[in-house]
Chain A
Amino acid sequence: DTAVSQTPKYLVTQMGNDKSIKCEQNLGHDTMYWYKQDSKKFLKIMFSYNNKELIINETVPNRFSPKSPDKAHLNLHINSLELGDSAVYFCASTVSTGVYEKLFFGSGTQLSVL
């Protein structure tokens, strides 16, 4: 009954590979996000979708492509992985854009690019 679930929890891969991270929320929220957390714990927004529509794309390389098949899912596909992509990626959801009191995070996907 996890509110925001992401898979996989850990992802270890070689440079140049393509990988995907999946996220699902069962809260009935309209807005979903991807955040990246670097080794210094700094959290930065990458993308935001509202009801399957992209509303924020925070100057992320186009190797990163989010996809929202429905409002409960927001997946992140990364092409041609680079060493600098190593980080923890968090999915989050909220009732609607700008409603942060109810911003729920998943438990993160730790991506290690070797």
Chain B
Amino acid sequence: GESVGLHLPTLSVQEGDNSIINCAYSNSASDYFIWYKQESGKGPQFIIDIRSNMDKRQGQRVTVLLNKTVKHLSLQIAATQPGDSAVYFCAENGSSNTGKLIFGQGTTLQVKP
């Protein structure tokens, strides 16, 4: 079946350091990927996305890298801040036109002051 997974359930970083959250996906037909951030007690919030015709996309303090050869996605957060503490999910669109977004299991990012 389709699955999107993350390599580490919890990542702990020092404030100011860079964070890297990884994700492995299994559906080679996926052509669109998203990272979401979920803070405690809230719903997931869109951070950044990338299409399969790109291998890197940058936002404000965040960068998403896509390696289609090994079906790997990563989210890099520069100068991590306490407000970045949350659960991060990668998601893929799976086979085209299904209308479904498939989420990975989430990585909890803890930022130590």
Contacts and interface: CB of A to CB of B under 8 A. Distances in A.
Given A43-B89, A45-B100, A105-B44, A100 B105 contact: no
Contact of A42 (B41, B44, B106): B106
Contact of B106 (A41, A50, A56): A41
Nearest to A43: B103
A100 B43 contact: no
Is the interface on chain A under 10, 10 to 19, 20 to 34, or 35 or more residues?
20 to 34
Interface string A1-17: 00010000000000000
A66 interface: no
Contact of A101 (B45, B49, B99): B49
A40 to B, nearest CB: 7
Interface in B71-113: 87, 89, 91, 93, 97-103, 105-106, 108
B34 interface: yes
Interface of A: 4, 31, 40-45, 48, 50, 55-56, 58, 90, 92, 97-98, 100-108
Interface of B: 32, 34, 38, 41-46, 49, 87, 89, 91, 93, 97-103, 105-106, 108
